[in-house]
Amino acid sequence: MMTEQAVIVTKNLSKWYGDVRGILGVSLEIPKGITGLVGSNAAGKTTLLHLISGLLKPSQGEVQVLGESAFDGTHFRRQLGLCPQKEALYQHTTVLEFVSILTELHGFSPKEAKKKAQEAIEKVRLSHKIHQKIETLSKGMRQCVKLAQAIAHKPGILLLDEVLTGCDPLVKHHLKALFHEMAQEGATILITSHNLKELEELTDKIVVLDRGKMIAHGKISELQKQSKKQKNQISIEGENLRSLACDLLSYNDITGIEIQEKGILVHTQDFEAFSLRLPGLFSEKDYKIKKIMPVTQNLESLFRFLVGGEH
């Protein structure tokens, strides 16, 4: 049953490419606002976006967007915008021509479409290149052209596949603000990114995919609560740390130590006891400690925890 706020609903969704698994048994409901789609390479992020946009037909299960079947429906596409990962552009056309004609295909008159295209191009900060041919643009600018065609008709649902890749920091900052603005206006945005830090800045809701399976879904803070184990990791940077590692292993609460490039990562069952013990340990020997910090509970560490450190 679709909840009141869910715009996109998938039920037991699977997609196979011959013998290769794209997506397996993904059931999720995506409400309004920004949702991040996290996963390593070949996790099935693009496949999921293509299934939601109706470009691919599910091998099993179903996808409903605004209550309509994604593959067979056409009406929901008035509300849909997709910025694909692949460069799907006509190189010999100008930015304005390309965005205008695609906007026209949403049922607008050529005049309306041109106006909307100009607004969208302005939004992605490409106005100064509006009459330039696409083949002459840089990768970041082409990315903006793809985004402009996706937002020109003011869609209620926006699917963004690695949209910030190739953009410079200023443009990235501006686009993030644009996505926040669209989400506040009631849009549903599903965004994939390899850069988890960027994703964390955009949203607190994530869907984590790993090898085609959905392994977590929800707010980052809630997922972090589930992964309490993470809290008990302390990173120590400095010199002569192998000796410290040997000393630490004699304590019962220490469950493991990882030797890292700049220091060591200590796993403990009792974070408090460990913290109290540290000053005594450091006064006994000259360890030359540069930095001690608990492993931050950011999206990246959560992702590593969720996928079991295999990536």
Q: Which residues contact 293 (CB under 8 A, 6 or more apart)?
A: 234, 235
57 binds other proteins (CB under 8 A): yes
CA distance 213 to 297: 23
For other proteins, the closer of residues 128 and 131 by Cβ is 131
84 binds other proteins (CB under 8 A): yes
Q: How far is the CB of 101 from other proteins (least distance, A)?
A: 6
Q: Which of 77, 114, 129, 217 binds other proteins (CB under 8 A)?
A: 77
CA distance 259 to 7: 46
DSSP 218-253: EEHHHHHHHTGGGGGEEEEEESSHHHHHHHHTTSTT
For other proteins, the closer of residues 31 and 107 by Cβ is 107
For other proteins, the closer of residues 92 and 229 by Cβ is 92
Return the structure tokens found at 256.
């493991």
Q: Which of 5, 27, 31, 88 binds other proteins (CB under 8 A)?
A: 88
Q: How far is the CB of 107 from other proteins (least distance, A)?
A: 6
149 binds other proteins (CB under 8 A): yes
105 binds other proteins (CB under 8 A): yes
Span interacting with other proteins, options 50-58, 171-179, 205-213, 263-271, rule CB under 8 A: 50-58
Q: For 10, phi and psi rounded to 5 degrees?
A: -120, 140
CA distance 51 to 212: 13
For other proteins, the closer of residues 93 and 224 by Cβ is 93
Return the structure tokens found at 29.
């409901």
Query: Where are any strands of DSSP class E within the chain?
Result: 6-17, 20-31, 33-39, 60-65, 68-69, 80-83, 157-161, 188-192, 205-210, 213-219, 233-238, 254-259, 263-268, 289-294
For other proteins, the closer of residues 59 and 301 by Cβ is 59
55 binds other proteins (CB under 8 A): yes
List residues binding other proteins (CB under 8 A): 17, 46-47, 50, 53-57, 74-75, 77-78, 80-82, 84, 86-93, 101-102, 104-107, 109, 149
